[in-house]
């Protein structure tokens, strides 16, 4: 499996040209930031949660992103209905198992979604990914208590169990698929001080999956763009508040040259 800076830039151009609708069933904390990030990237966000409109809303979407950050029974029903509609339409599904491992409800909901309608991409931090396959794994709130390096073996096991591309975010981002593993080392530690950037990464995975057929490559492209935009934003920021603002600007202004100069990606078997 190979992924070049040129591939990432080409996928970003496709998003900007096509403006794919990304339907996000996401959490209260991140709705505004996630929508703005998708708009800055060139995609068209829809944030709909009512069970009654899931089939119609998925009908106009190019990708579905399911984020379990603020769960309720009504939202869980909507997630299953949306996933079933997306599968019928054969559009990519991205699952973000926010906080899996923190409570049994979160972990069980994510696992049931994976079993019922296997997604194309599962993206989470190390603890979340580990909790989906290891009953003993624990998550500190919605933050990871493990490094991405620690989660690679269980990420492989999760991929083998459900077939999804598994993306583990951290100091090194790992994307695990049927053709191997892609490692990405873009980003900055200050990004961990801005709530919801992991959720934003999952939304961007949806946008890239709408234009890149291979889910593993799509997730790695999204993580590279996230990381590069984060680096550019950090250079212009005084702290996490201004980083959030500059991050949106960096996504909007991201150029082929930025990607070529900054992308740090490596594939391994």
φ, ψ of residue 103 to 5 degrees: the values are: -135, 155
pLDDT of residue 106: 95
pLDDT of residue 138: 54
CA 3, 249, 39: angle at the middle one, nearest 5?
A: 75
**Which has the minimum average pLDDT: 147-151, 203-207, 249-253?**
147-151
Q: Rounded to an integer, what distance in angstroms lies between the CA atom of residue 229 and that of residue 113? A: 31
Q: How would CATH label the architecture of 5-268?
A: 3-Layer(aba) Sandwich (3.40)
Q: Rounded to an integer, what distance in angstroms lies between the CA atom of residue 155 and that of residue 130? A: 7
DSSP string, 23-65: EEE--TTTHHHHHHHHHHHT-EEE----GGGHHHHHHT-SEEE
Residue spans per domain, the chain: 5-268
User: Cα dihedral sign for 216, 220, 226, 229?
Assistant: negative
48-57 pLDDT per residue, tens: 999 999 999 9
Q: What share of the chain has pLDDT > 70, as a percent?
A: 95
pLDDT of residue 147: 79
Please say whether the beta carbons of 29 and 195 come within 8 A: yes
Per DSSP, 189 falls in state G
pLDDT of residue 136: 54
φ, ψ of residue 86 to 5 degrees: the values are: -65, -40
pLDDT tier for residue 150 given thresholds of 50, 70 and 90: confident
Please say whether the beta carbons of 119 and 113 come within 8 A: yes
Across the range 215-244, mean pLDDT stands at: 98
- pLDDT top residue among 228 and 145: 228
Q: Where are the alpha helices (DSSP H) in the chain?
A: 5-18, 31-41, 54-59, 73-89, 104-116, 126-133, 152-162, 197-209, 215-235, 240-253, 256-262
Q: 6: which 2 tokens? A: 């040129």
153-183 pLDDT per residue, tens: 999 999 999 999 999 999 999 999 998 999 9
pLDDT of residue 148: 87
pLDDT of residue 2: 87
58-89 pLDDT per residue, tens: 999 999 999 999 999 999 999 999 999 999 99
Taking the C-alpha atoms of 120, 221, 143 and 160 in order, what is their torsion angle to the nearest 10 degrees?
Answer: 40
109-140 pLDDT per residue, tens: 999 999 999 999 999 999 999 999 976 555 55
Q: How many of the other CB atoms lie within 10 Å of CB of 59? A: 15
Q: What share of the chain has pLDDT > 90, as a percent?
A: 90
pLDDT of residue 208: 98
User: Cα dihedral sign for 65, 147, 185, 255?
Assistant: positive
């Amino acid at each position: 499996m190979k992924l070049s800076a040129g591939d990432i830039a080409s996928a970003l151009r496709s998003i900007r040209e096509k403006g794919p609708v990304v339907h996000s069933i996401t959490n209260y904390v991140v709705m505004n930031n996630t929508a703005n990030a998708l708009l800055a990237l060139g995609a068209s966000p829809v944030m709909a949660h009512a069970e009654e409109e899931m089939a119609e809303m998925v009908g106009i979407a190019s990708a579905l992103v399911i984020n379990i950050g603020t769960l309720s029974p009504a939202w869980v029903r909507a997630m299953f209905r949306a996933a079933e509609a997306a599968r019928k339409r054969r559009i990519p599904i991205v699952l973000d198992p926010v906080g899996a491992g923190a409570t049994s409800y979160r972990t069980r909901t994510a696992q049931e979604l994976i079993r019922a309608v296997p997604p194309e991409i599962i993206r989470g931090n190390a603890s979340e990914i580990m909790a989906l396959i290891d009953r003993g794994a624990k998550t500190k709130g919605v933050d990871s208590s493990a490094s991405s390096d620690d989660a690679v073996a269980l990420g492989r096991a999760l991929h083998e169990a459900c077939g999804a591309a598994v993306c583990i975010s951290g100091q090194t981002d790992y994307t695990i698929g049927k053709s191997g593993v892609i490692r990405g080392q873009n980003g900055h530690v200050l990004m961990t001080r801005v709530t919801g950037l992991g959720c934003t990464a999952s939304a961007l995975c949806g946008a890239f999956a709408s234009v890149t057929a291979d889910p593993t490559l799509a997730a790695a492209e999204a993580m590279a763009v996230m990381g590069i935009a984060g680096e550019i934003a950090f250079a212009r920021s005084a702290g996490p508040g201004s980083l959030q603002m500059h991050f949106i600007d960096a996504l909007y202004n991201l150029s082929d040259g930025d990607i070529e100069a900054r992308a740090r990606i490596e594939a391994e078997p």
